[in-house]
Amino acid sequence: MSEPGAAGPSPAAIQVSRIMRPDDANIAGNVHGGTILKMIEEAGAIISTRHCNSQAGEPCVAALARVERTDFLSPVCIGEVANVSAEITYTSRHSVEVQVNVMSENILTGAKKVTNKATLWYVPLSLKNVNKVVEVPPIQYARKEQEDEGKKRYEEQKLDRLETKQRNGDVILPVINPEPHTVGYSQSSLIHLVGPSDCTLLGFVHGGVTMKLMDEVAGIVAARHCKTNIVTASVDAINFHEKIKKGCVITVSGRMTFTSNKSMEIEVFVDADPFVDEPRERYRAVSAFFTYVSLSKEGKPLPVPQLLTETEDEKRRFEEGKGRYLQTKAKRQAQMQQQAAQQ
């Protein structure tokens, strides 16, 4: 796999590999989706930071701004090697698009399978001034169509990030004695103090660390609702609205918004409380929707209990989630028909 020709000595592509350990997995032996997301982000950060420093200019570190929808095509198990490959596919003046593929490898049999495909967007921040976005060295494209398609993706994600930020005023409040299968029954929160090991050279949280925490909370919500083994099926676009600084206390909150017969959608957002250096009001830093499925002990899909909505807001969110579910289902069916026609 090669980059479409960088205008400088930046790497063509990189690969990060790691064997999956027991502490990476759930009780059924399937690797947590958050672990894979963290590896994906690490690979993206490496290649985008290298590229942004490939020409003479201000030293910088690439910060994660957005992750497009990511499907978990196949589970990764303990003992397998996760091979994460990353490639730069588009650059604008101030951002980098990175395509990442994850392939699991059974090192005993040599069997390999694609488990994830993801698109990430990074913004280079100056090491001297963290509020300054530096310019990205351009890449050269094999065909003009590649640049045009990349520009279209750039404009679409930019618009979606703006719309998501505008509707991010919700908060999750505790519910007293909730009934099973209601939103309040499964909603969950996790509080984490951001330390040095969570942060980049600039002192801000790695995007992969945040995504791992978000997946943990979403997994708790799904497990509480189903009372079964659950796995991450997909993650809708993850938008990083603001940086989270070392010393912040972050609250990662999750609630169920929609269920179909075999899947459940969980909204997760991250709020940050800065206490060190510059106290300010709590703010919404990250938001996303996770989709989980329920599995039997044999790994077979199980029916998901219907979510019981009680308030008007819960009913509205359920209908919005249903719309996203049907839209994704229609896209998947169209892709399958297109692939069948090409064979």
Q: Are 23 and 35 in contact (CB under 8 A)?
A: no
Cα distance from N-terminal residue to C-terminal residue, the chain = 24
129 as an active site residue: the answer is no
User: What are 177-185's contacts with CB under 8 Å, separation 24+?
Assistant: 179/308, 181/225, 181/305, 181/306, 181/307, 181/308, 182/307, 182/308, 182/309, 182/310, 183/255, 183/256, 183/257, 183/307, 183/308, 183/309, 183/310, 183/314, 184/310, 185/224, 185/225
26 as an active site residue: the answer is yes
Angstrom distance (rounded) from CA 168 to CA 62: 25
Q: Are 124 and 94 in contact (CB under 8 A)?
A: yes
Q: Which two tokens stand for residue 3?
A: 């980059």
- Residue 217 has phi, psi (to 5 degrees) of -65, -45
Active-site residue (options: 24, 30, 116, 215): 215
* Residues known to be catalytic: 26, 215
